[in-house]
Amino acid sequence: MIGNRFSAAAETYDRHARPQLALAQSVVSMLPEIYPEQILEFGPGTGQLTRLLTQRFPEVPVDAVDVAEKMIEHSREHFSKFPQINWIVGDAQTYRSGDRYPLIVSSSALHWVSNLRKTCENIFQCLEPGGYFSLGMMLEGTLKELHNLRREIAPEKTPAITLPTYEETKDALKAAGFTLERRKHSEEEIIYDDAKAFMKAIHEQGVTGGKVSAGNAPLNRAELSQLIVDYQEMHASDGGVAATYETATFLLTKS
Ligand SMILES: C[S@@+](CC[C@H](N)C(=O)[O-])C[C@H]1O[C@@H](n2cnc3c(N)ncnc32)[C@H](O)[C@@H]1O
């Protein structure tokens, strides 16, 4: 289950979350000149985006809703000097509070949901008319080298689920009622020291082990060793190995 996997990764996530930090920065930089009275964040995890929010909007109350109980415990403890953050266990697909928010944000989280359109519809309901939703998504091309190699080494263990595409995400947002104000779509290569360090980093980001990357069965020891050797050979770049991250940032409104 997604919640358990991210709970397990809570302690190590930040050291290895460079692409996620870049996406969180993009989510904040896309915001217009507003100063909301209250913010709702979905999937805060260890609070990379939440921290940026506290810098941009000091003292504004943030309801930070994450499905992973241990992530919430971890972040509540780490952010104890920020009493304006309210750490809540909840699911973006169904979460409702009595309030409607002038600003909702989410980064590197909603690509995990099983029904993106329904989730977007729920978020639309949480937003007040005239409010903003700034969203950072990891997309289908993320870690494509790894997925392709995995498919070759253990085709019977290919994951049935992939991350959403850019078009699917845009369609889900529009179908939910959002107006698209701004967007940025990019593909970037990140260099890791070597294939082993890369595998360790994505595991500690909580990227492996879930429905998207794990497939219906985990790789055995021999397959994993093969994956590391082949990855090192096929994707060597700039003194390390390269991995692609495809991301998009959207600024949306409710008119
Ligand atoms: C990769 S972490 C990203 C954390 C942070 N937003 C960042 O930018 O670094 C994804 C987080 O989303 C949470 N998450 C996944 N699905 C969720 C859902 N349906 N509702 C709320 N949180 C969810 C996970 O538990 C995890 O803490």
pLDDT digit string (tens) for 47-81? 999 999 999 999 999 999 999 999 999 999 999 99
Please work out whether the CB of residue 93 comes within 6 Å of at least one atom of ligand 1: yes
Q: Indicate the pLDDT class of residue 208, thresholds 50, 70 and 90.
A: very low
- Residue 61's SS3 state is coil
Domain count, the chain: 1
For residue 94, the model assigns a pLDDT of 97
From ligand 1's centre to the CA of 217, what distance in Å? 23
Structural domain that includes position 35: 2-253
Distance (Å) of CA 210 to CA 15, 40, 100, 193: 20, 25, 32, 24
Residue with CA closest to ligand 1 atom 6: 44
Give me the mean pLDDT over the 32-61 stretch.
97
What's the pLDDT tens digit per position in 93-138?
999 998 899 999 999 999 989 999 999 999 999 999 999 999 999 9
- Return the best residue to mutate from 41, 67, 70 for the ligand 1 pocket (most ligand atoms within 8 A of CB): 67
**Nearest CA residue ID for atom 10, ligand 1:** 109
* Token digits of residue 166: 């850019």
Whether 168 and 245 have beta carbons less than 8 Å apart is answered as: no
What pTM does this model have? 0.90
- Please indicate whether residue 102, judged by its CB atom, sits closer than 6 Å to ligand 1: no
For residue 210 and ligand 1, the question of a CB distance below 6 A is answered with: no
Atom of ligand 1 minimally distant from the CA of 41: 6
Q: What is the DSSP string of the chain?
A: -HHHHHHHHTTTGGGG-HHHHHHHHHHHHT--S---S-EEEE--TTTHHHHHHHHHSTT--EEEEES-HHHHHHHHHHTTT-TTEEEEE--TTT---S--EEEEEEES-GGG-S-HHHHHHHHHHHEEEEEEEEEEEE-TTTTHHHHHHHHHH-GGG--S--PPPHHHHHHHHHHTTPEEEEEEEEEEEEEESSHHHHHHHHHHTT-SSSHHHHTTS---HHHHHHHHHHHHHHSEETTEEEEEEEEEEEEEE--
CATH code: domain of residue 118:
3.40.50.150
Instruction: Please report which residue ranges of 67-194 form alpha helices under DSSP H.
Output: 69-78, 116-126, 144-153, 166-175
Under 8 Å CB-to-CB from 236, ≥6 apart: which residues? 242
* Cβ atoms within 10 Å of 6's Cβ, excluding its own: 26
pLDDT recorded at residue 217: 74
Instruction: Tell whether ligand 1 has an atom less than 6 A from the beta carbon of residue 101.
Output: no
**Mean pLDDT score of the chain:** 90
Return the minimum-mean-pLDDT range out of 105-114, 153-162, 171-180, 214-223: 214-223
**Spacing, Cα 238 to ligand 1 middle (Å):** 31
Give the span between the Cα atoms of 81 and 84, in whole angstroms.
Answer: 9
